[in-house]
Amino acid sequence: MTESSANHSVFPNPEDPRLTTTVSGIDQTGICVRTNVVTERPLTLYLNAQEIVTLMTIGDHPQALGLGFLLNQHMLKPDDTVTEINVDDDLGVVVVRTARQTNFEEKLKKKTRTSGCAQGTVFGDMMDGFDEIQLNEAARLHTSWLYGLTKTINQIPSLYLTAGAIHGCVLCCEDRLLLYMEDVGRHNAVDKVAGLMYQNNISPEDKILYTTGRLTSEMVIKTVQMRIPILVSRSGFTAWGVDLAQQAGLTLIGRARGQRFLALAGETRLIFDAEVKVGSHES
Amino acid sequence: MTESSANHSVFPNPEDPRLTTTVSGIDQTGICVRTNVVTERPLTLYLNAQEIVTLMTIGDHPQALGLGFLLNQHMLKPDDTVTEINVDDDLGVVVVRTARQTNFEEKLKKKTRTSGCAQGTVFGDMMDGFDEIQLNEAARLHTSWLYGLTKTINQIPSLYLTAGAIHGCVLCCEDRLLLYMEDVGRHNAVDKVAGLMYQNNISPEDKILYTTGRLTSEMVIKTVQMRIPILVSRSGFTAWGVDLAQQAGLTLIGRARGQRFLALAGETRLIFDAEVKVGSHES
């Protein structure tokens, strides 16, 4: 598949009845109301014959989520040949099959031994090779693109607007949205983007990744591992996220709301081509 | 210690220089600015001689975080005698020692075998005994308390106001804040509350837990396991979170902003004693 398939944009489908549930409750006046809430369902991921993980997800794009998780955990190499992806919706299972034989028995064991079963462990493995990654210096972010993108993302139909309580992750090229994925966890949303990039052979070098979540160390590491040179969020930063972005030369933009933003790393890729209203205040 | 020690309130300390770092960047006008961002540092938790987990945390209240993590993961029983808690700030280590001998080698192994190393695993263990828990039916939430609490939480000095990108979790009694903990992950914040409740012998039966995070399945499970009958958030709901709250009889209040809120479970504990302005809209 060629890069031109990137024109095949994928957006949220808030009309999909599997993604939300209507529940009843009462509001502040004591009146009975009905509202939409997002669903969470377990998806168990197998790589060939091996059970890898059970993810809590809204349930759309299970193939992309499975592929993206494996890629971002370095269990699938970019040059691996994926021979088949089977999804069983009833069982909540996705099976990714590769030409190469795989066995992560030792890797899964090692995680437990080093630091138990929380974020820290996944994190440890994810840093592999981080220092050697060269992000594309020539990539640019025009402030006019940034303002256009954040406005479009806030207005395009989404589960966020329909039901709230969900994270979004959007792959963009210049001022265009290519892939807009949502999920209960922001890591699932970014993994789905990684999976779709792999499936559609979308090159990362000139892309911009937008996330609704905070710019933590893990989000920075994933973006760098995906070779995307620019990361934008409407939320804020953590010190380690900023530090890692500076080390990797990632352009890190946070608190992007209205016409305001803050760049704390890789500022050289920014081009100030939009007029900024004097006295504009953060919402 | 008696319940009266609950008067010993604990609030955020945004002045603590270890919790934020000042970083430089540029804003939307290209001008160089300095801003505060929250720190993240690894804290490795030992229970007696065994390494349990490495947590990413802002670093305050390490004893409470270690205790609360162990309690919420059922590695420490409420009737266990904690003989010593040692913290080494330089090494980033907290060691909890108990009178009872402990060994979670099998438990840690089992997690890996069943579903790898992500949320799903921790979750599986956390459901143990969930069905048997009886929350206090007599607890009440007056809407006047709710409006007072959310207003106070939004105005009291915090890392959230100083640096953003942080979650808060507040244990309340009627209209008073008892324990206000913040951390990069909302699960650390709620674990710190659990640890401080244990250390100060604070009873959960009449308390209200407020979280800035979403009302997901994991947050509902932790609140129920902590025997707190009322959970409030300014964020939204997930379907499974609502379902579990209904099963457990937990009062679940979300989207609490200004004078608005939505109760999707346990509505019988609500007392509407505040006047609601007609036509008030969500911010």
Identify the residue among B112, B121, B260, B261 best suited for mutation to test binding to A, counting A beta carbons within 10 A and taking the highest. Answer: B112
CB contact under 8 A, B24 and A264: yes
Give the side-chain half-sphere CA count within 13 A for A252. 30
Residue A122 pLDDT grade (very low, low, confident, very high; cuts 50, 70, 90) = low
* Cα A69 from Cα A191, distance rounded (Å): 5
Give the side-chain half-sphere CA count within 13 A for B171. 30
Residue A1 pLDDT grade (very low, low, confident, very high; cuts 50, 70, 90) = very low
- The answer to whether residue A55 sits within a structural domain is no
Q: Could you tell me the CA-to-CA distances from A21 to A264, B124, B240 in Å, in that order?
A: 39, 23, 10
pLDDT reported for residue B276 = 75
Name the residue range of residue B184's domain: 141-271
Which residues from chain B sit within 8 angstroms of residue A40, using beta carbons?
Answer: 216-217, 238-241
CB contact under 8 A, A116 and B54: yes
- The answer to whether residue A88 sits within a structural domain is no
Say if residue B277 is exposed, middle or buried (CB neighbours under 10 Å; 0-12, 13-18, 19+): exposed
Say if residue A54 is exposed, middle or buried (CB neighbours under 10 Å; 0-12, 13-18, 19+): buried
Q: Per-residue pLDDT averaged across A140-169, rounded?
A: 95
Indicate the Cα dihedral angle B209, B213, B219, B224, nearest 10°. 10
Mean pLDDT of chain B: 88
pLDDT reported for residue A171 = 98
Residue B46 C-alpha, separation from nearest chain A C-alpha, in angstroms? 10
Q: In this predicted model, what pLDDT tens digit does every residue of A228-270 receive, in sequence order?
A: 999 999 999 999 999 999 999 999 999 999 999 999 999 999 9
pLDDT reported for residue B131 = 93
Beta bridge partners of B280: none
pLDDT reported for residue A275 = 83
Residue B13 pLDDT grade (very low, low, confident, very high; cuts 50, 70, 90) = very high
Mean pLDDT of chain A: 88
Nearest residue of A to residue B46, measured between CA atoms = A115
Q: Which of B45, B47, B44, B43 is nearest to B97 (CA)?
A: B47
A92: left (phi over 0), alpha (psi -120 to 50) or beta: left
- The answer to whether residue B199 sits within a structural domain is yes
Q: Are A218 and A189 in contact (CB under 8 A)?
A: no
Q: In this predicted model, what pLDDT tens digit does every residue of A24-37 receive, in sequence order?
A: 999 999 999 999 99
Is A13 a residue whose pLDDT tops 90? yes
Q: For the CA atoms of chain A, what is the radius of gyration?
A: 19
Q: Which is more confident, B75 or A207?
A: A207
CB contact under 8 A, B276 and A28: yes
Instruction: Assess: ipTM above 0.85.
Output: no
B141: left (phi over 0), alpha (psi -120 to 50) or beta: beta
CB contact under 8 A, A117 and B120: no
Give the side-chain half-sphere CA count within 13 A for A142. 11
Identify the residue among B117, B242, B253, B272 best suited for mutation to test binding to A, counting A beta carbons within 10 A and taking the highest. Answer: B117
Is A3 a residue whose pLDDT tops 60? no
Is B208 a residue whose pLDDT tops 60? yes
Identify the DSSP state of B157.
-
- The answer to whether residue A253 sits within a structural domain is yes
Model confidence, pTM: 0.88
How are beta strands A50-57 and B50-57 bridged, if at all?
unpaired
pLDDT reported for residue B278 = 58
pLDDT reported for residue A77 = 86
- The answer to whether residue A183 sits within a structural domain is yes
Q: In this predicted model, what pLDDT tens digit does every residue of A45-95 receive, in sequence order?
A: 999 999 988 888 999 999 999 999 999 988 998 789 999 999 998 899 999
Q: In this predicted model, what pLDDT tens digit does every residue of B221-247 receive, in sequence order?
A: 999 999 999 999 999 999 999 999 999
- The answer to whether residue B282 sits within a structural domain is no
- The answer to whether residue B253 sits within a structural domain is yes
Residue carrying structure tokens 């398939």: A5
CB contact under 8 A, A241 and B40: yes
- The answer to whether residue A58 sits within a structural domain is no
Q: In this predicted model, what pLDDT tens digit does every residue of A177-199 receive, in sequence order?
A: 999 999 988 889 999 999 999 99
The CATH number for A223's domain is: 3.40.140.10
Q: Per-residue pLDDT averaged across B132-148, rounded?
A: 97
Q: Are B53 and B45 in contact (CB under 8 A)?
A: yes
Neighbours of A10 (CB within 10 A): 18
Largest CA distance in chain A: 60
If one counts the domains in chain A, the total is 1
Q: Are A212 and A156 in contact (CB under 8 A)?
A: no
